[in-house]
Amino acid sequence: MNNIALITGITGQDGSYLAEFLLSKKYEVHGIVRRTSSFSTGRLDGIYKYGDSVDQRVQLHLGDMSDQHSLISIINEVKPTEVYNLAAQSHVRVSFDQASYTADVTALGALRILEAIKDFNKNHSANIKFYQASSSEMFGKVFETPQTEKTPFHPRSPYGVAKLYAHWITVNFRESYNIHATCGILFNHESPRRGETFVTKKITRSVGRIAVGLQKKLCLGNLEARRDWGFSGDYVEAMWLMLQHSQPDDYVISTGQTHTVREFCERAFKRVNLNYEDCVEIDPQFYRPAEVDLLVGDSTKALQTLGWKPKIQFNELVDMMVDYDLELAHKEKSLTTT
């Protein structure tokens, strides 16, 4: 039987890396995208560009996580063997301003697609495997360090709360309907494809622009917040490994190392021979209403059960992002001077 994957959120950072990874494993890949007035497939340029599939094994379908009917229709049309639910309103700070939207897409979206899978499995004697992108933000106000699969949850944002609902409804469907449903509790993971509203990308994008003279200062909030930062390309492999395991379960995916936002800035500016202290200003508007100060994961279970461990380390990750954004800044500058 052919391996057929359906990815929600395929145009995002993780979705694009996952699509490429699954193609390397000879999968037929389908993705769900929302209808918009402009193309949003830039991260898929290597496999799908401007409405045309560069790789014939990639197909995109119009749908929405808030529309149950579209999800049912796509599941019935694609008949996937694996579904990876990566779609979400995934920005923590934005979730405070758009809490109901975050809940609808991030929490109830997971329920809707699980319902579609449950009904398809029942009607077609199928066994679609399901991956839910859970988040370290569910730990929030942490009870222990490092965090494991057994650490109690205490989310500190509407995003974290929504992810917690999606996590537990996945566990519930696994236990109630015998669905091969697995949750990957992923700690922060970045790449050159990271969205520009996230702090890591905001830093590296600004580093590039400051280095070429297009920008003077970078305004940030809490520089002492500590995170466990890994590489998205490594983490999508963990998603796939989870669904290849015979038994569904929950796994923490992390590097086990923690760094502050200040350290991220220091490394990023050092890459272009600048001192971050000369370029970074603190602006209280960028502080969250409820801050998560320290997140660091223990992914021993993933190593022992799946054989997974991260390959890209912190300094290499930061350098990779800065190099990419420095090239973008040079292109931007050349356009402004022509």
Determine the Cα–Cα distance for residues 310 and 289; give it in Å rounded to an integer: 32
| The one-letter amino acid at 331 | K
Determine the Cα–Cα distance for residues 56 and 150; give it in Å rounded to an integer: 42
Q: Would you state the pLDDT for residue 286?
A: 74
Q: What is the mean pLDDT of residues 166-193?
A: 97
Its pTM stands at 0.93
DSSP E strand boundaries for 138-225: 181-186, 189-190, 218-220
Please, which residues have CB within 8 angstroms of residue 150's CB and are 6 or more apart in sequence? none
Cα-based angle 183, 85, 63 (whole degrees, multiple of 5): 160
Residue 182 has pLDDT above 50, yes or no: yes
Residue 253 has pLDDT above 60, yes or no: yes
Burial label, 164 (beta-carbon count in 10 A; 0-12, 13-18, 19+): buried
Coil, strand or helix: which one is 207?
A: helix
**What residues form DSSP beta bridges with 62?**
33
Q: Would you state the pLDDT for residue 283?
A: 84
Residue 137 bears catalytic tag: yes
More confident residue, 9 or 51: 9
**What residues form DSSP beta bridges with 193?**
none
Q: Would you state the pLDDT for residue 29?
A: 97
Q: Would you state the pLDDT for residue 52?
A: 58
Q: What is the mean pLDDT of residues 1-8?
A: 92
Q: What is the mean pLDDT of residues 172-177?
A: 98
Residue located via tokens 């917690």: 164
Q: Would you state the pLDDT for residue 194?
A: 95
Pair of tokens at residue 231: 């590489």
Residue 174 has pLDDT above 80, yes or no: yes
Residue 335 has pLDDT above 90, yes or no: no
Q: Is the preceding peptide bond at 152 cis, omega within 30 degrees of 0?
A: no
The catalytically annotated residue of 135, 157, 191, 206 is: 135
Residue 4 has pLDDT above 60, yes or no: yes
DSSP E strand boundaries for 15-126: 28-33, 48-49, 52-53, 58-62, 82-85
Residue located via tokens 């979206």: 109
Pair of tokens at residue 182: 């697995």
Q: Would you state the pLDDT for residue 55?
A: 59
Determine the Cα–Cα distance for residues 263 and 313; give it in Å rounded to an integer: 14
Q: 82-123: per-residue pLDDT in tens?
A: 999 999 987 888 899 999 999 999 999 999 999 999 999 999
Q: What is the mean pLDDT of residues 285-303?
A: 82
Q: Would you state the pLDDT for residue 32?
A: 96
Determine the Cα–Cα distance for residues 266 and 269; give it in Å rounded to an integer: 6
The catalytically annotated residue of 84, 131, 159, 251 is: 159
Cβ-contact 182, 238 below 8 angstroms = no
Confidence of residue 284 (pLDDT cuts 50, 70, 90): confident
Residue 287 bears catalytic tag: no
Determine the Cα–Cα distance for residues 55 and 14; give it in Å rounded to an integer: 18
Residue 135 bears catalytic tag: yes
Cα-based angle 278, 215, 189 (whole degrees, multiple of 5): 80
Cβ-contact 257, 187 below 8 angstroms = no
Confidence of residue 45 (pLDDT cuts 50, 70, 90): confident
Cα-based angle 7, 9, 306 (whole degrees, multiple of 5): 55
Q: Would you state the pLDDT for residue 291?
A: 63
Q: Mean pLDDT of all residues in the chain?
A: 93
Residue 189 has pLDDT above 70, yes or no: yes
Residue 142 has pLDDT above 80, yes or no: yes
Residue located via tokens 């830093």: 203
More confident residue, 47 or 163: 163
Determine the Cα–Cα distance for residues 140 and 153; give it in Å rounded to an integer: 7
As a whole number of Å, the end-to-end CA separation of the chain is 55
More confident residue, 57 or 296: 296
Q: 13-32: per-residue pLDDT in tens?
A: 999 999 999 999 999 999 99
Residue 37 has pLDDT above 50, yes or no: no
Please, which residues have CB within 8 angstroms of residue 220's CB and are 6 or more apart in sequence? 199, 202, 203, 261, 265, 280, 281, 282, 283, 286
Q: What is the mean pLDDT of residues 332-337?
A: 86
Pair of tokens at residue 51: 């409405």
DSSP E strand boundaries for 9-79: 28-33, 48-49, 52-53, 58-62
Coil, strand or helix: which one is 31?
A: strand
Q: Which domains does the chain have, with CATH numbers?
A: 4-191+230-253 (3.40.50.720), 199-226+258-294+313-336 (3.90.25.10)
The catalytically annotated residue of 137, 190, 263, 266 is: 137
